[in-house]
Structure 1
Amino acid sequence: MPLYMYFPFLYFPEDKTEYIPAAISMFIFMVITVLAFRLVIRISKRQAEKAKKFEEQLNLTDDHKKE
């Protein structure tokens, strides 16, 4: 069976201006992805700081119990 029979859904337009909307939407989604990734990192850092403070607070109370 010829290779082109496996890919009937591929479409390569003659007029290359049809790629412009796809490129614009890809750019928009990439920007949104980067912003979401940075937001997740920022929230993760805040949670790590809170967890560190909480652990320090627990260690201080444990030290008082040991004495």
Structure 2
Amino acid sequence: MNLWILNEFLYFPDNKAEYIPAVLEMAIILILCILVFNFFRKKAKRDLEKTREIEEKIFKEKNSSHK
């Protein structure tokens, strides 16, 4: 691919104040991503604990029925 084709799509503004909305949007999206990631981690941890409890319950019932 010719590099001159990409040059038409690049835009670097002379007024650096035009970067402010992009930086704010990027910060908001980054914060939201971190919050969602932490939510999924906590949810997965709770689900893992519930699964372990159910497995222990099933294992105890299985062992008590064999005796």
Is the shorter-chain TM-score for this pair beyond 0.5, marking a shared fold? yes
Does residue 62 of structure 2 align to residue 62 of structure 1?
A: yes
Give the match for residue 23 of structure 2.
Answer: 23
- Give how far 1:21 is off: 0.5
- C-alpha separation between the residues in 2 aligned to 1:46 and 1:29? 26
Alpha carbon RMSD of aligned pairs, Å?
1.5
Report the residue type matching 2:9 in the other structure: F
Q: After the TM superposition, which segments of 4 or more aligned residues of structure 1 sit over 6 Å from their partners?
A: none
Unaligned runs of 5+ in 2: none
Q: 1:2 to 1:57 in 2, by over 3 A?
A: closer
Unaligned runs of 5+ in 1: none
Size of the alignment, in residue pairs?
67
Aligned-pair identity (%)? 34
Instruction: Provide TM-score, normalisation by structure 2.
Output: 0.91
C-alpha deviations, 1:5-51, integer Å up to 9, x for none?
23422111111110000000100000000000000000000000000
- Give how far 1:2 is off: 5.3
- C-alpha separation between the residues in 1 aligned to 2:38 and 2:28? 16
Instruction: Provide TM-score, normalisation by structure 1.
Output: 0.91
